[in-house]
Amino acid sequence: MKPNLEVKIGSLKLKNPVMVASGTFGYGKEFSEFINLKNLGAIVTKTITLRPRLGNPPPRTCETPSGMLNSIGLENPGLDNFIGQKLPDLEKTGAPVIVSIASEKDLEEFTVLIKALNHINCVAAFELNISCPNVRHSAARRTSLVSQDPQATFDIIKSVRKLTKKTLITKLSPNVSDIVEIAVAAESAGSDAVSLINTLTGMSIDVETRRPKINMVVAGLSGPAIRPVAVRMVWEAYRKIKIPIIGMGGITDTQSALEFIIAGSSAVSIGTANFINPKVTQEIISGLEEYLTGKKVDDINKLIGSVQIV
């Protein structure tokens, strides 16, 4: 008998805990020739804003040891184009669709976005992206993120919670002194789950030109380089909150996915690895089933938070 891979995030039931991270999988269609999208636990869309965004000027990506820097700047077609041109294809995938949303200026934009998307049946859940480090006008005008302030995090979640009964996930930033404080604020405000972690803030310099490799100077670091930080933050948050955690940050294979689950993640989201191996999600799903069978564990939920600390 096959082990159970089903997990629950809020009211959202997933056939397995393997999701794809926002911004690394396009709108699903781009990967349809590599895997059967219906097999995914869920697809998290590229982050949508109210109006179209061109994103940050290039260069906006570069490789780093065991990772990459990106400063895309939430490039996206905007709400209306997303509903008219992207959602129909996403609905055809057969996988639950989690729409990632962000505000450019006024946090009330979250209200407009949720109201516009809430009635659409194929939208299974929302991910509040309050932690993107790359929406900046210049290095000199950097401002703090909502997710770096527990009260601001609480306020925005509280204000949108009443607008939808669909699962509400809050994506948190690792660029804080205490991730637990922010996770607790999210839970208290009514978030059904938290995603952690978003990218760490980093910088890389071309020593020949003595110029930053990224136009915006600083950027978000992702990939295996950040995995130990992400696993630690998941473990810390799991001990203090009761809502599910969606773990992410450098997951490249079954072993690394299991690290997050054992640390306390109810689900995992695969990001940078999709660029390297477009079949990685399917391999992880199969790998989790094989691991459970080999360990004689009949339900993946029994692994969540099962790390043994002596």
Residues assigned a catalytic role: 132
CB-side neighbour CA atoms (13 Å) of 224:
9
Contacts of 207 (CB under 8 A, 6+ apart): none
The residue written with tokens 């910088």 in the block is 203
Is residue 287 packed enough to be buried (19+ CB in 10 Å), middle (13-18) or exposed (0-12)?
middle
The residue written with tokens 């995603």 in the block is 195
- Structure-block tokens of residue 182: 């922010």
CB-side neighbour CA atoms (13 Å) of 42:
31
**Residue 82 backbone dihedrals phi, psi, to 5 degrees:** -60, -45
CA angle in degrees (0–180, nearest 5) for 268-87-34: 55
- Residue 238 is classified by DSSP as H
Are 263 and 246 in contact by the 8 Å Cβ rule? The answer is: no
